[in-house]
Amino acid sequence: MIAGKNVLAFVMAGGEGSRLHPLTVERCKPSVPFNGKHRIVDFVLSNLVNSEIYSIYLLVQYKSQSLIEHVRQSWTMTRFIPQHFVTVVPPQMRNGPHWFQGTADAVYQNLHLMETLQPDLVAVFGADHIYRMDVRQMVKFHVDSRADVTVATLPVPLAQVSAFGIVETDLDGRIGRFTEKPPQARAMPRRPTHALASMGNYIFNADVLRRELARAHQSGESDFGKHILPRMLDTHRLMAYDFHTNEIPGIQPYEEHGYWRDVGTIDAYFEAHFDTLGAEPKFRMTNSAWPIYASPDQAESAQIEQGFINHSTIGSGSIVNGAYLDHAMLRRSVRVEQDARLEHCILMERTVVGQGARIRRAIVDQDNFIPPGESIGYDPAKDRQRFQVSEGGVVVVPRCYFARPAAAVATPERATVLG
């Protein structure tokens, strides 16, 4: 119970993640790895669990097997509260032979899951963002403001409004207009360079949600931001919750207040990783007062033989043997051989970097064997012939692009989950 209310959560984890290609060739967007040992979905699930919301349905759709395996192994709720759950729900097609047609349709197809718990409030949250949030504070705001729906919001530069749902409010925070991804938007009253954006996180009164989803189904509406929320403005009380008022224990003074990143593009995903590096990072992954839970780790400790390492993260089971690492992020069981040079790179599980190889501004997906002397990130024309290169110049090497030589000995730790 939060603020005297029983809260159920639906997490929207069905995103295809086309803008993160090729990292999403074999996995859905929420299942994409992040930092040393996490996946993107771990942030929203950790925020809900830390906020004492333990009844969570994870709605999946595209390429969901790796996410299903990750949740099965990492989010067994007996680790926290035995009587509660994180349950993965693929499309049930109870209302016809259709996959989820949008965020609202996904929840509509699973309204029957509310029958047992009979919640007072329903949290509908996205699974694609890097942040910490105490959802209890948003719930309290929702109850205190007598809202039918509360939308979590934060300011974004006017140049970025086309990527968000944009809301306009009165001085009390009541939403008077909601526009999904407009080409341009009106600035906030006291911030002429910014508009107020939806974070894609909503709190609904349960009875309101049931009624509005049934109405939306009858009229063919399928999305909260595009259809349902704009239509409700004239008939319901919609309030904007200011994410920057959310207080998290354990946050250090040097961290960016109200840190939140949409990592839906390669460049945004790449840059967010480096926000976690250094002695005083913008977003500190380690916070015992508000942990971001990760998958169980059975690998041995990382091993550093020798070399130069600056502002880097070395995952468990990794070996660095006489290499140069500057702003490098190595996930589990990565091996970097002598004289290799890594600069502003992300290397995923079980990748081997051969002797003398050079990699710069690149993401290397798992199970790659970078040949000795290979060069990635130094010749843009050559890189574009072989790989996808983002607008910001980040090279993405797909999973298993460089095959492991037959004579190579596999690293001790194999994948514990798919993707």
**Architecture of the domain defined by 303-397:** 3 Solenoid (2.160)
For residues 181 and 281, give the distance between their C-alpha atoms in angstroms, rounded to a whole number.
Answer: 30
Q: pLDDT per residue over 361-381, tens digit each? A: 999 999 999 999 999 999 999
Look at residue 128 and tell me whether its pLDDT is greater than 60.
yes
pLDDT band at 300 (very low <50, low <70, confident <90, very high): confident
Q: pLDDT per residue over 22-46, tens digit each? A: 999 989 999 999 998 899 999 999 9
Whose structure tokens read 């989010």?
A: 75
Whose structure tokens read 């596999």?
A: 410
Look at residue 413 and tell me whether its pLDDT is greater than 50.
no
Q: For residue 22, is the peptide bond before it cis, meaning its omega torsion is within 30 degrees of 0?
A: yes
pLDDT band at 163 (very low <50, low <70, confident <90, very high): confident
**How many percent of the chain have pLDDT more than 70?**
92
Look at residue 70 and tell me whether its pLDDT is greater than 70.
yes
pLDDT band at 409 (very low <50, low <70, confident <90, very high): very low
DSSP state string for 228-296: IHHHHTTTS-EEEEEGGG---TT--TTSPTT-EEE--SHHHHHHHHHTT-SSS-SS-S--TTS------
Q: Which is the CATH superfamily of the domain at 7-262?
A: Spore Coat Polysaccharide Biosynthesis Protein SpsA; Chain A (3.90.550.10)
The answer to whether the 7-262 and 303-397 domains have the same CATH topology is no
Listed by start position, the domains of the chain span 7-262, 303-397
pLDDT band at 78 (very low <50, low <70, confident <90, very high): low
CA distance from start to end of the chain: 36
Lowest mean pLDDT among 76-90, 152-166, 269-283, 377-391: 76-90
Q: pLDDT per residue over 79-112, tens digit each? A: 566 567 888 887 665 555 455 667 888 888 889 8
Look at residue 415 and tell me whether its pLDDT is greater than 60.
no
